[in-house]
Amino acid sequence: EVQLVESGGGLVKPGGSLRLSCAASGFAFSTYSMNWVRQAPGKGLEWVSSISSSSSYIYYADSVKGRFTISRDNAKNSLYLQMNSLRAEDTAVYYCGSKAAIDYWGQGTLVTVSS
Amino acid sequence: EIVLTQSPGTLSLSPGERGTLSCRASQSVTSNYLAWYQQKPGQAPRLLIYGASSRATGIPDRFSGSGSGTDFTLTITRLEPEDFAVYYCQQYGSSPYTFGQGTKLEIK
């Protein structure tokens, strides 16, 4: 069974940092691109970042470029999102998802940026 | 950046009816890399269609996708009660991989 489990969310002050993790199991993690997608409360989906299977290609939304860093560890079947200089508008549920057309999604982890 | 505009914003239909949802791109979507997702309250999205017209694994055949270039359509024939949800399109052909704003399909 495919599982994606996010962790690392929580309450952080503006300007602070958080590191999200996504643990993958049940599929050949190292062969697929991975994504982070977020959803602010009551809003639509927003693509955040993608990373290719070997980390050769990395892309970011303009809204997070320069502040967020995506990475992966294929030996640990894990995906990460380092989030720095957090703003109130980064408050959202963050999902990890597999492949370009995202066929598997985690349950999401809530990040709240507030003083 | 490719902007995806979904219409209508809200679609009110009855079970058994046919639903037609539109997704229009501000420029041509590379290789028709266009996906459709369904999202219910409190749940993660679910992939329905990829490559504009290919159904994802386990998706009933009442869901179909069509279109190319800048105009795409998700059609749901014979709406079931569980189909009432929010639907999003996403292009994954060129970064940034943008989503549409969503169409809410509600029971009339």
Whole-angstrom Cα distance, residue A34 to residue A70? Answer: 10
Encode pLDDT of A77-101 as tens digits.
999 999 999 999 999 999 999 999 9
- Residues of A with Cβ-Cβ distance to B97 under 8 angstroms: 35, 47, 50, 59, 100
The answer, yes or no, to whether the previous bond of A14 is cis (omega within 30 of 0) is no
Mind listing the pLDDT tens digit for each residue in B25-64? Answer: 999 999 999 999 999 999 999 999 999 999 999 999 999 9
Mutate to test the interface with A, among B10, B49, B95, B104 (most CBs of A within 10 A): B95
Provide the percentage of residues in chain B whose pLDDT is more than 70.
100
Chain B residues with CB inside 8 Å of A62's CB? 1, 96
The CA distances from residue B1 to A6, A42, A52, B7, B8, in Å, are 28, 24, 20, 19, 22
Which tens digits make up the pLDDT trace of A10-50?
999 999 999 999 999 999 999 999 999 999 999 999 999 99
Which chain A residue has the Cα nearest residue B45?
A: A105
Shortest alpha-carbon distance between residue B35 and chain A (Å): 6
Q: How far apart are CA A4 and CA A44, in angstroms?
A: 21
In this prediction, residue A104 has a pLDDT band, given cuts at 50, 70 and 90, of very high
CB atoms within 10 A of CB B36: 31
